[in-house]
Amino acid sequence: MSKFALTGEQIAAYHRDGFVLARAMFSAEEASIILRTAELDDRMHQAAYFRSDSTGSKTRMTVWNHPGDDVFGLFARSERIVDSMEELIGEEVYHYNSKLNAKEPFEGGAWEWHQDYGYWYASGCLFPAMATCMMALDPCTAENGCLEVLKGSHLVGRIDHGVSGKQISADQKRVEFLEKRLERVVVEQQPGDVLFFHANTLHTSSANGSAKRRWALLSCYNAASNDPVFAHHHPGYTKLHKVPDDAILKAGIKPTSEDKEFLQRAHNPITEVAEKV
């Protein structure tokens, strides 16, 4: 078990609240290496696509399925992340997908309330034995559109999702009732802070109307036993090979290789509808 992995107290908080924030889980130097690589990586930028909100503001995203030997893959395969995920999910996990999420100054879009399992259920995963970790590469604040969560919302189970403007969101009436009962937490992060959240945790983020950029790296994991029951754009169980916690520092700036495969956009049975709106 990595000495940097989540503690027993943090794991208990995750199961109680549906999320836990691990401050400085990665050093400022490690976060800087990943950020600098993302800034310099031409293939990463060329593979990006945009998701717009109801006002037309856009968030740039680059998505991939398999973690490689670039610094993004070293993050997703690092012992501290994988060990933490296996403790949270309760068994061996595999990498489901990762993405670079970029909200640029004055134009980064908002995200409606949703659960990740609202998408992944439609992609054939029978159980919500899944979770996401999000590391800030820039300071993520209320001002530039950081993530917000409803504390304890993972306990309500999966909520129906549908098309809302150009996005997919959780049933708005159900969310309105939950907002009256559950605490809304604005999760501000500094580079190197990692937020872990359950696949059924309701989360949202506002548009970035500030002059400050908000870039973040997200990696999602699925239980090894939760293989999707039909083929789709994210992989079934694929053995995940962990790397030591010092792998990022040893690698330095290491861009994606020529054989890296990126998704051109996020397909699934729900988002196919949104693409036509």
Residue 179 has pLDDT above 80, yes or no: yes
The pLDDT > 70 percentage for the chain reads 94
Find, among 213, 173, 206, the residue nearest to 187 by Cα.
Answer: 206
Kindly state the average pLDDT of the residues 135-164: 95
Do residues 85 and 202 lie in contact, with contact meaning Cβ atoms separated by under 8 Å? no
pLDDT score for 269: 46
Do residues 63 and 262 lie in contact, with contact meaning Cβ atoms separated by under 8 Å? yes
Q: What is the pTM of this model?
A: 0.94
Residue 274 has pLDDT above 70, yes or no: no
CA separation for the pair 115, 119 (Å, rounded): 7
DSSP β-ladder status, 58-64 and 262-263: antiparallel
Domains and CATH numbers, the chain: 12-275 (2.60.120.620)
pLDDT score for 277: 27
CB atoms closer than 10 angstroms to residue 102: 23
pLDDT digits (tens, 9 = 90+) for 73-126: 999 999 999 999 999 999 999 999 999 999 999 988 888 999 999 999 989 999
Residue 151 has pLDDT above 60, yes or no: yes
CA separation for the pair 268, 274 (Å, rounded): 10
